[in-house]
Structure 1
């Protein structure tokens, strides 16, 4: 008598399970694309009118909403990525610099990262390329067993390698060090030149993009929705790319960013002393007349990256997943190309804080549209959670901007926070004014971007702006988590 009832129960369970599988398969997929050290020098972002980025511009034309007011949670790779992937700011976790592995940070090691969260909620999470910052493991002198965040994915693939520069000398660009300058990693890293072969298909990032495109075109991920994180390592230094990309930017046509000789003179500590000097890389380029070559190399590398993005997006477009995949493409922080008399990152001025962010939600985001809403990369975690219908993660510091994707013209200007590379170093930006506080040095800065987009004039000593300063300062964290343990060199 019990057997028919048992059969009915089994049938109902089977139908329920089938319904669950179908429900999961109807959730949108996520293609999460990180680009290392890319600033706003992208055609549709307008950071440099000379740059050639046809594939990123095509993404904008096909519904990739251009978030023109997007900012990084930190201006160095590790803290920025750790913050956006955990959804928690550096001043709460102690992950301030590139030597702070979040897995060694008492306040960060148990946080559920974005790919883990999606995996826990029915997604297949897979990755290739740099998503988390890479850290050496104890006793790994050969750097062969690095922690690159493998643990966060159901499926992790190492990059496939690529070709190096044509020249064996270092630096390839022949840029001498300054008299008395100590030769270090940073000296050798500020380098550029053509690769041994004029073939982009043999480059590491191109091979990563090709791998991802093939996965999209050939796999169904066992019927699960997927969270695919793809990391493009350039335009991070060194700028070694095929000669064809340098040829796209003739030196005699390069227009350099505007700079001001006295730019750093009005940023003073509590004792009235200037706290910033030009970077060593800027001083070398200045002394030996290599600014145009440096800008040419960065532009060339961006266009190479754009070709890689084209391969990846063509793979998605040619797959069965094209109409059900959210694309979220971002740079982890900005980069100076001689602005503020420096090359690089780490500081809290506009060029290092502003980032490219593009979001395509099929059937939702409009084509050829720029959105002025003020957002932070730390907002990507809760935004993707909401877009994919997952339960909210209450730990997240960020705020979902999913409503902004549906209505890009709405007002969205809550001040946004960027952490510096040390405790007590912050920038708050409200879409017009940026306030920078360095508690360790007792220094403050205030800039009006409407009248001074290059941040040349520090208004902090002008009493007329005391109210603006007070309003923005209220968003600066009151306490700082101590820096978490550092990796050995």
Structure 2
């Protein structure tokens, strides 16, 4: 139908009202076109970025995005491990069972199920509302959206069977997603080398010499294709780095002078904390050729600590460069004016903080991650947003921004008011779940309660005076614990009663 000549067609008012109400009408009128979404997932990304105040790390492209976007300075994931954190964010739901704390959360609760009235993810809901949905790389947990890479995997159900119109991944010389995830530049992987590898690599290769470069190339091609469509699109791109191994092309290592990279401000185990709140760096020490095997009892040397931090910074700068390519492509196609951009880290990572190398704790550095949201339609968007928010808040935020109805109640709430600077009554409490414990981050404090035998089971950190969480003050201020218990109970989903 030619809408420029619609006045000449004798249609009833009822039909006209129907057309105005349908999203198909909105898609085909440039002024009312629904926004596209580019959602960038980054694995194991701390808030070590220029836009978050790190003056050493080189992240010019993320910083440029942040300069015109809402930077959530206190964003927290619900679970400090990849698969479970992604499950919680994609479904908008806090974990309710121990299965929800596992990297197999999506496999156990979504994959292989029949399609239901309630969408499996917010991506599924956008697809039902007229969006073309395309996924590339690591979005849920398994890279190809499958669970194994043998010949028998051909009939394996995808992780998210109803969310995608297209799901793509180029494993390159590594041949499958799992080997690509742990890739080394010569085409080998941690798996094929039977863990006889270092937890880092500096290689004389181009950006496409590692799998993330191939994902960026795929994404650029998809932006070209999607720009020609009449429907709005949701494009998700998942980058591996800076997940272990910290491998990156040499040019990103060369951005840094190693001696200028700072060491952790929390080199000791926190005071009055049981070792059960920590771990022995199992994931990190799985790389058998690592020069040292640090644990909380035998910390890494200063020299090795700085080498690993250098490797992590190089991996972050590599991902930053690839993100820059996507943003440049959006702009070159004229899509930046109507594309919401979300950059999300699936959790933090302790780079020697409290002698931990990894995630899997309920400390600030494992639960805090970057969240940057750019909304071109908000002309006076807030830049630095200090309110405490959670990953479960992303679902209702995107659904509102994409002008769809929420399909059901989730654990989060829309952050659109915060982006507009119009939500003075935002309730600040971010809950985290792991390791037989529940934690809540509120303004000025982190309060954690463990459901275990090892004492103490309660930890309280005063972020006004101790932002690195080096001193558990719970036993010093018993009068505050009742107050924080009441707040914590609001986030108790019955997880540890199952």
Q: TM-score range by the shorter chain?
A: 0.7 to 0.9
Structure 2: how far apart are the matches of 1:169 and 1:137? Answer: 20
Return the TM-score normalized by structure 1: 0.83
1:368 positional shift: 8.4
Q: Give the Å deviation of 1:389.
A: 1.2
Pick the aligned partner of 2:401 from 371, 374, 387. Answer: 387
Cα 1:339–1:188 change in 2 (3 A) is: farther
2:293 alignment counterpart: 284
- 1:224-303 matches, within 5 Å, as 224-261=231-268, 263-268=269-274, 276=278, 278-279=280-281, 281=284, 284-285=293-294, 286=299, 289-303=303-317
Q: C-alpha deviations, 1:127-158, integer Å up to 9, x for none?
A: 11111111754895776757353542011112
Deviation, structure 1 residue 366: 4.7
| Distance of 2:379 and 2:427 partners within structure 1 | 19
Paired position in structure 2 for 1:52: 58
Q: Is the 8 A contact 2:47 2:369 kept in 1?
A: yes
Aligned in 2, Cα 1:123/1:209: closer, same or farther, shift over 3 Å?
same
Q: Deviations over 1:323-359 (max 9, x none)?
A: 1111111000000100011111011100011110000
Confirm or deny: 8 A CA contact 2:107 2:159 kept in the other structure: no
State how far apart, in whole Å, the 1-side matches of 2:374 and 2:342 are. 7
Aligned to 1:256, the other structure's residue is in SS state: coil
Answer yes or no: is 1:127 the counterpart of 2:135.
yes
Aligned twin of 2:431: 417
Indicate conservation of the 8 Å contact 2:134/2:234, yes or no.
yes
For 1:432, the equivalent position in structure 2 comes to 444
How many equivalent pairs are there?
455
Q: Which moved more, 1:148-157 or 1:248-257?
A: 148-157
CA RMSD of aligned residues (A): 3.4
- Which residue of 98, 101, 104 corresponds with 1:96? 101
Q: Relative to structure 1, is the Cα distance of residues 136 and 60 closer, same or farther in structure 2, using a 3 angstrom cutoff?
A: closer
Partner SS for 2:85: helix
Q: Distance in 1 between matches of 2:431 and 2:135?
A: 28
Aligned-pair CA distance for 1:209: 2.0
Query: Partner residue of 2:461?
Result: 447
Partners of 1:102 and 1:108 within 8 A in 2: no
The C-alpha deviation readout for 1:267-299, integer Å capped at 9, x for no partner, is 24xxxx865455354862545641111000000
Distance in 2 separating the partners of 1:92 and 1:452 = 32
Normalising to structure 2: TM-score of the pair? 0.81
Structure 2 vs 1, CA of residues 459 and 221 (structure 1 numbering), >3 Å: closer, same or farther?
farther
SS of match in other structure, 1:227: strand
Q: 2:487 aligns with which of 454, 468, 472?
A: 472
Match of 1:70?
75
**TM-aligned CA deviation for residue 11 of structure 1:** 12
SS of alignment partner, residue 284 of structure 1? coil
- 2:221 aligned to 209, 214, 225, which one? 214
Give ranges in structure 2 of 5+ residues lacking alignment.
1-8, 175-182, 286-291
**Cα distance in 1 for residues equivalent to 2:423 and 2:166:** 38
SS in 1 for 2:490: coil
CA distance in 2, matches of 1:240, 1:138: 23
Q: Which moved more, 1:461-470 or 1:439-448?
A: 461-470
Q: Which moves more between the two structures, 12-21 or 205-214?
A: 12-21
Of 108-117 and 135-144, deviating more is: 135-144
